[in-house]
Amino acid sequence: MAEITASLVKELRERTGAGMMECKKALTENNGDIDAAAEWLRKSGLAKADKKADRVAAEGRIAVAQEGNKAVLVEINSETDFVAKDDNFLAFTDTVAKTALSSGAADAEALKSVQTADGATVEETRAAVIAKVGENVQVRRLVSIDSTNNVAAYVHGGRIGVLVELQGGDMELARGIAMHVAAMNPPYIKAADVPTDFVEKEKEIELAKMSEKDKQKPADILEKIISGKINKIVNEVTLYGQPYVLNTDQTVEQAVKAAGAEVLSVKRLAVGEGIEKVVEDYAAEVAKAMQV
């Protein structure tokens, strides 16, 4: 059996990021062969990753990578906000975003098998991170824009990310619109994008809310009243209809048209949206345990 020295353990820790005891065990299991020990730790990490795969990961980070007019956002989840701030997790998210950008992967599933700059796949690297942080980590979603137009990427607090494609105008305006989308989250860009069934449903609701006296007004007057209410609602749910957050004296549409520009596409990700979080009731859990 080869001697497992402190310097050998230290070297393996620096290479893999695993804990001291795990590194010592890996070296012992592999007779001091550091390469074999590193591989052993990777396989061990995959096993641990499988055990943690069913745990809910609803925290995390939106990572961004951009090169010219090509940009990508990736949502990567952890179980807790604490791990979302961990250096190992943050480094992993940056690596994943850069890999997504360079590979052109279409979605998070396709990204899993792509090799990162260090030669390991994204999935293998994810497993290694799980071994380090002790939580389930998931690469959940990926969106990208690759265009000849202006493309702005904006991430707010690591939790909301936006990509905007702007024809005409400049990058300052594109970034301003990305900031607006991060803050206001409009479901649609223009009034023409709003589904007809949504508009019809809102008309029914507004008509039902009207008094019987108002309903007796001439058809053309009634139509004007309803149209005014619907236009207001449509403005509230469209990017172009909202007051521009960087200059509320004008709408986004007015700001865009003043620059001779047009917003072609918008993509937005927010950490954990759509994931049902598990709320632990520790008091009830303790009470239940005491009854056993």
CB 73 within 8 A of CB 60: no
- The segment(s) of the chain belonging to CATH 3.30.479.20 are 53-146
Percent of the chain with pLDDT over 90: 57
For residue 276, pLDDT beyond 90: no
pLDDT-derived band at 222, boundaries 50, 70, 90: confident
Sheet with 150-156: strands ordered across:
150-156, 160-167, 262-270
CA angle (65, 170, 70) in 5-degree steps: 25
- The segment(s) of the chain belonging to CATH 1.10.8.10 are 6-52
Q: What pLDDT is recorded for position 110?
A: 96
Most confident of 5-9, 176-180, 273-277: 176-180
Q: What pLDDT is recorded for position 274?
A: 83
State how far the Cα of 113 lies from the Cα of 122, in Å rounded to an integer: 6
6-52 belongs to which homologous superfamily?
Ubiquitin-associated (UBA) domain (1.10.8.10)
Find the helix packing angle between 219-237 and 196-209, rounded to 10°: 120
CB 161 within 8 A of CB 62: yes
User: Once rounded to an integer, what is the mean pLDDT over residues 189-215?
Assistant: 85
Please give the radius of gyration of the chain, using alpha carbons only, rounded to the nearest integer.
Answer: 26
User: Once rounded to an integer, what is the mean pLDDT over residues 123-127?
Assistant: 92
What class has domain 53-146? alpha beta
pLDDT tens sequence across 51-106: 444 565 679 999 999 999 999 999 999 988 999 999 999 999 999 999 999 999 99
User: Once rounded to an integer, what is the mean pLDDT over residues 143-160?
Assistant: 97
Higher local confidence (pLDDT), 272 or 289 = 272
Supply 9's token pair. 């353990």
Q: Is the pTM of this model over 0.95?
A: no
Percent of the chain with pLDDT over 70: 86
